[in-house]
Amino acid sequence: MTIGIDKIGFATSNYVLKLKDLAEERGIDPDKLSKGLLLKELSIAPLTEDMVTLGAAAADSILTAEDRKKIDMVIVATESGIDQSKASAVFIHGLLDIQPFARSFEIKEACYGATAALDYAKLHIEKYPDSKVLVLASDIAKYGAHTPGEPTQGAGAIAMLLSRNPRILAFNDDNVAQTRDVMDFWRPNYSATPYVNGIYSTQQYLDSLKTTWAEYQKRQGLSLKDFAAFCFHLPYPKLALKGLNKIMDKSLPQAQQDQLKDNFEASILYSQKVGNIYTGSLFLGLLSLLENSDQLKAGDKIALFSYGSGAVAEIFSADLVPGYEEQLSQTRLEELNLRQPLSVADYEQLFFAEAQLDEAGNASFSGYENQTFALTEIAEHQRKYSKVEKSS
């Protein structure tokens, strides 16, 4: 039985910060961001858009009524969750009107979480072949204004519907993971933004890639020549490019090296315009590859490198299924261009705004008309979400 990704959806916020504007305001050379990090724009989320609304919107864009009857597990990977106790998956299960006899929970290990979720979903479908599992990777990446990480923020969610006989990608049973206890990036409960040892984190990322890839090749008897594309976790695309250069096999025919490089370029297009979306970053890269590469064909094997600070890394692969193109969008880049640009002052106000609760724990919000789902109010400390009705 083949198991894998049957559908992929994506959602991001309606606002965008152009990094040339940020560079100008911060007094840094715009080339540092466009060439040094390979980034162009960041999605900026207001208070009414959080990882619940983004996750629900990503899923809503792909689910049919039939899917909602068949899904029996909802797993949300996130590191910007909205409650220490109640899982965001429970809110999202309700917003999506998924049948009640489902297991819904949240999973965490920095940007790595969704990779573990996919493997757990696969085990579940092996046991219950008729089931469909919804895996969401949803985050808002916030480092703070004037920090080195500021140009690598972002907001967005990826939704993946897993089933047997998938129509996009079939997983291979070849995952190799590595755990190392390091403090490269972490966010204590009392802090709204992470603590980061930036350069150290890039070294951990690259070394985890090198050592996990060596172990993967040894265990699986595969090498770069077996792959049409390699997708990376994308905290910012330049780091992934360094990763590709690190594992590039110079003895491969030039045409295959070129194909890997071209496919890499296709895989970073969305992240360059959205920024880091933590748990969803790797899969946004995968979606970008699938929707923008003109070199892929059914049967091609794609490698995926997942990295979550702290740190856990994993490499696994999946094969493209015949007809995969039919499940994808042709208009994603145009849609990203419809986001409303913000001045740096407006970005600072919007992105770092915090809910002002009264003594009873109430706050109400407005200005969410263009969202798919919204946090509309907090009533006695309870977050209230709704699908936004669109006036025709």
Q: Which residues bind to ligand HMG, rule: CB under 6 A?
A: 29, 31-32, 35-37, 79, 110-111, 148-149, 152, 184-185, 196, 198-199, 201-202, 205, 233, 235-236, 239, 276, 278, 307-309
- Judged by CB, which is closer to ligand HMG: 2, or 144? 144
**Catalytic residue (choose from 41, 49, 79, 291):** 79
Token pair belonging to 282? 């790797």
231 is catalytic: no
- Judged by CB, which is closer to ligand HMG: 149, or 285? 149
Minimum Å gap between C-beta 268 and ligand HMG is 14
Minimum Å gap between C-beta 347 and ligand HMG is 17
Nearest residue to ligand HMG, scored by beta-carbon proximity: 36
**Catalytic residue (choose from 109, 111, 124, 150):** 111
Q: Is 53 exposed, middle or buried (0-12, 13-18, 19+ CB in 10 A)?
A: buried
Minimum Å gap between C-beta 32 and ligand HMG is 4
- Judged by CB, which is closer to ligand HMG: 29, or 97? 29
Asked whether 377 and 363 are in contact (CB, 8 A), the reply is yes
* Integer CA distances (angstroms), 4 to 106, 135, 188, in order: 20, 11, 34
359 is catalytic: no
- Judged by CB, which is closer to ligand HMG: 36, or 377? 36
Minimum Å gap between C-beta 140 and ligand HMG is 12
Amino acid identity for residue 383 in this structure: R
Asked whether 284 and 271 are in contact (CB, 8 A), the reply is yes
Q: Is 345 exposed, middle or buried (0-12, 13-18, 19+ CB in 10 A)?
A: exposed
**CB half-sphere exposure, 78, CA atoms < 13 A:** 29
Amino acid identity for residue 211 in this structure: T
233 is catalytic: yes
Q: Which residues belong to the active site?
A: 79, 111, 233
